[in-house]
Structure 1
Amino acid sequence: MMSRLSTAFVFIQAIVLCTGADPTPLVIWHGMGDSCCNPFSMGSIMRMVENEIPGIYINSLKIGDTTTADIMNGFLKPISDQITMACEIVKADANLANGFNAMGFSQGGQFLRALAQQCDGIQMHNLITFGGQHQGVYGFPKCPSSVTFCDSLRQILNTAAYRPVVQDHLVQAEYWHDPLHVNEYLSKNIFLPDINNENKVNEEYKQRLQALNKFVMVRFNNDTMVEPVASEWFGFYTPGQDEEVQSLQESDLYQTDQLGLKAMDEAGKLVFLATDGDHLQFTDEWFNANILQYLK
């Protein structure tokens, strides 16, 4: 029989284990037109998390040597190159070696999902995407106010998104999803059909995505940036037209389970959250009530 002294020692050890562990680190990837460390966007998010989870380590991914490069790479650097850079950053960060949670904002959401699927040897626990365009976009209603070439960008996407020179040099073209020309999308888009396992099933992509504890998708019900908004929950237009929207659960992607999302959903790993804001607009109170639980 265990002595009282031994029992007390085990009890103290349990307390230390429960209270002494450092918080799970966090990786953040910003959206289009933003940078890793903008004090009014990602900086604000970091401060909010740090206030609620003291001592948490946060790596806000910087894709480039300078802030300007980080911003411009979000428009002009091929996504595959960005994923490679992000993979190298994460692997080189000793603070992330034992695993981390991840939050992606707008296009940073699908980029972090690609990181989870394509970067071998990392341990992403929970993935949270805010307004991520997981099925892409078909429409480009507005850009951040800081971007001056929005009209040109919109025109290029509307007329020439699948031309090789555009695919190779314009990030947003790589998740342009034209439901009226499905075969062209599948054959000429160099990013989205690949990470969504639409042309062929990459078992490693599927297994790595399914290794997540939780995949949390946040939709902004009054989003004026993403068309269709359903993409934020992995839904999209029904193929062949651009009016009727189908949910993830209604899609062939789900029914065939070629990406493993149906199995994840049935296992309780998919979390669908919504807030009645415009693109990336939410309150601290909403964040604390709905998101913090996946960061602790």
Structure 2
Amino acid sequence: MSVFAVWVLSICLLLVQGSPVQKSDGEPVPLVIWHGMGDSCCNPFSMGAIKKMVERQIPGVYVLSLEIGNSITQDMENSFFLNVNEQVARVCEQLAKDPKLQQGYNSMGFSQGGQFLRAVAQRCPSPPMHNLISIGGQHQGVYGLPHCPGEVSHICDWIRKLLNSGAYTKPVQEHLVQAEYWHDPLNEEAYQKNSIFLADINQERSVNESYKHNLQKLQKFVMVKFLKDTMVVPPDSEWFAFYKPGQSIDIVPLQNSTLYTEDRLGLREMDKAGKLVFLGVEGDHLSFTDEWFNENILPFLH
């Protein structure tokens, strides 16, 4: 079965009715969702289904599934070709203007949407983000693009060629989303110098104290890793781990990385405070059951 088929099956399972979750005062916390590569805000088999499922589980909750552009088609295209910094800026503006979010909200990002929402938390603290749930987000980037959702495979073939030939050239960085979180462990210097998105939010060049301070305002930062992920390379990036510099075999866990030991993002402090949550799920990329979601994710959405 293809990854896309597994994803559709998993989402269908999520539509099963479960026990409702609400705040003790009866007012549910709003939820902001950001989709992944090649997806859109309102695909009935992915984000549309997730939105409906959450609304069923949490009566009265306001769920905003982010649409980057003026149509579903444009939203999908922008997940490949609109500069991530521009996307984040647009989302920050949208959230700041939404009256339903001004008292705060939870966020849930799928695949690249997870790291993009982390950028929102770091760059735009108002309105406040309470919990950040990253489902398969590549927080240390990727070094490979094995496959994409089936209906956009031709785009992926073209993207692979661009990444292999010049991921860190200015035109590719500015116009190809996946290049903006391409992390080449064999050429860390080029990555740190030329990555216009990931190297910035991961504080690779210098420490922006506001990024660190804003991220630490989160109540919980939940990171979901798919233990049999064949799409994200390496899947350990979903837990902020990555290859040891200079090779692409051995993985350095987050707690052993300079990002953690130097506490460039405040993750060490957050970890000691119990704010970091590492969840593993048996399955390929974005493949999970309704039971797993209800047990592990819903508690963070109230």
TM-score range for the pair, normalised by the shorter chain length: over 0.9
Q: Quote how far apart the aligned CAs of 1:141 are.
A: 0.4
Q: 2:80 aligns with which of 52, 60, 75?
A: 75
Matching residue of 2:16: none
Q: 1:117-159 CA deviation, whole Å, 9 max, x = no partner?
A: 1114220000000000000000110011111221111111122
Q: 2:197 aligns with which of 191, 195, 199?
A: 191
Give the 3-state SS of the residue equivalent to 2:149 in structure 1: coil
Matching residue of 1:11: none
Matching residue of 2:105: 100
Q: 1:264 aligns with which of 245, 265, 270?
A: 270
CA distance in 1, matches of 2:54, 2:253: 31
What pairs up with 1:117-156 in 2 under 5 angstroms? Answer: 117-147=122-152, 148-156=154-162
Matching residue of 1:27: 32
Matching residue of 1:62: 67
Matching residue of 2:218: 212
Matching residue of 2:239: 233
- Unpaired segments of 5 or more residues in structure 1? 1-17
> Is the contact made by 1:107 and 1:133 (CA closer than 8 Å) also made in structure 2?
yes
Residue 280 of structure 2 is aligned to residue 274 of structure 1: yes
Q: Quote how far apart the aligned CAs of 1:50 are.
A: 1.4
Q: Quote how far apart the aligned CAs of 1:277 are.
A: 0.9
Matching residue of 2:17: none
Identify the structure with bigger relative contact order (alpha carbons < 8 Å, sequence gap 6+).
Answer: 2
- Unpaired segments of 5 or more residues in structure 2? 1-22
Matching residue of 1:12: none
Matching residue of 1:13: none
Residue 115 of structure 2 is aligned to residue 110 of structure 1: yes
Q: TM-score, normalised by structure 2?
A: 0.91
Q: Quote how far apart the aligned CAs of 1:262 are.
A: 0.4
CA distance in 2, matches of 1:218, 1:240: 27
Give the 3-state SS of the residue equivalent to 2:150 in structure 1: coil
Matching residue of 1:49: 54
Same amino acid, percent of matched pairs: 59
CA distance in 2, matches of 1:62, 1:81: 13
> Is the contact made by 1:32 and 1:75 (CA closer than 8 Å) also made in structure 2?
yes
Q: 1:223 aligns with which of 208, 219, 229?
A: 229
CA distance in 1, matches of 2:264, 2:296: 29
Amino acid aligned to 2:42 = C
CA distance in 1, matches of 2:25, 2:273: 31
Give the 3-state SS of the residue equivalent to 2:32 in structure 1: strand
> Is the contact made by 1:48 and 1:284 (CA closer than 8 Å) also made in structure 2?
no
Q: 1:138-182 CA deviation, whole Å, 9 max, x = no partner?
A: 011001111122111111112210011100110000000000001
Matching residue of 2:96: 91
CA distance in 2, matches of 1:239, 1:145: 32
CA distance in 1, matches of 2:160, 2:41: 24
Matching residue of 1:167: 173
Q: Please identify runs of 4+ aligned residues in structure 1 that moved more than 4 A.
A: none
Amino acid aligned to 1:185 = Y
CA distance in 2, matches of 1:145, 1:90: 31
- Mean alpha-carbon deviation: is it higher for 220-229 or for 19-28? 19-28
Q: Quote how far apart the aligned CAs of 1:295 are.
A: 0.5
> Is the contact made by 1:108 and 1:132 (CA closer than 8 Å) also made in structure 2?
yes
CA distance in 2, matches of 1:77, 1:139: 20
- Structure with the greater alpha carbon radius of gyration: 1
CA distance in 1, matches of 2:98, 2:275: 27
Amino acid aligned to 1:71 = M
CA distance in 1, matches of 2:108, 2:211: 19
Q: Quote how far apart the aligned CAs of 1:54 are.
A: 0.8
CA distance in 2, matches of 1:293, 1:208: 23
Q: Quote how far apart the aligned CAs of 1:21 are.
A: 3.2
